[in-house]
Structure 1
Amino acid sequence: MPICSFCGQQAETDEVPLTWVTSVENGRKLLYCDQCARENVRSIEGKLDSAWW
């Protein structure tokens, strides 16, 4: 099951919800739930690593 890399929220199904964001940081694929993505959208679009959020 997909898990948010920021807050740890688990998706309800085995598929990544359409509202979640996928990011690649340091060669790793990370998933962010819709709430974390909304709260950090500027940092995500600015390609900042999640360590800076």
Structure 2
Amino acid sequence: MAAVCSLCGASPHPELEGDPPLGWSADLVDTGDGPRTRWVCDVCTRRYVRSIEAKLDQEWW
């Protein structure tokens, strides 16, 4: 597997982080060449989750 973060370009170290890397997020994206996996590293995943939480209405909490 050649996981590369689609946001920052980081690459995991398989021996340290596992394969697939622990804490990373993945989703399937439809492209002209068929579906492919898009990876987001643990750092960018945390950053993205926090931005979603910040946009939620106060009533949700």
Q: Same fold (TM over 0.5)?
A: yes
Q: Find the aligned partners of 1:40 and 1:23 in 2 and give their Cα distance.
A: 14
Match of 2:10 in 1: 9
CA distance in 1, matches of 2:8, 2:39: 10
Larger strand percent: 2
Structure with a larger share of its residues in helix: 2
Over aligned residues, Cα RMSD in angstroms? 2.3
Provide TM-score, normalisation by structure 1: 0.62
Percent of aligned pairs with the same amino acid? 30
Q: Distance in 2 between matches of 1:29 and 1:23?
A: 6
Post-superposition offset of 1:2? 1.3
2:45 aligned counterpart, secondary structure: helix
**1:51: which partner in 2?**
none
SS of 2:38's equivalent? strand
Q: Work out the number of aligned pairs and report it.
A: 43
Off by >6 Å, runs of 4+ in structure 1: none
Unaligned residue ranges in structure 2 (runs of 5+): 54-61
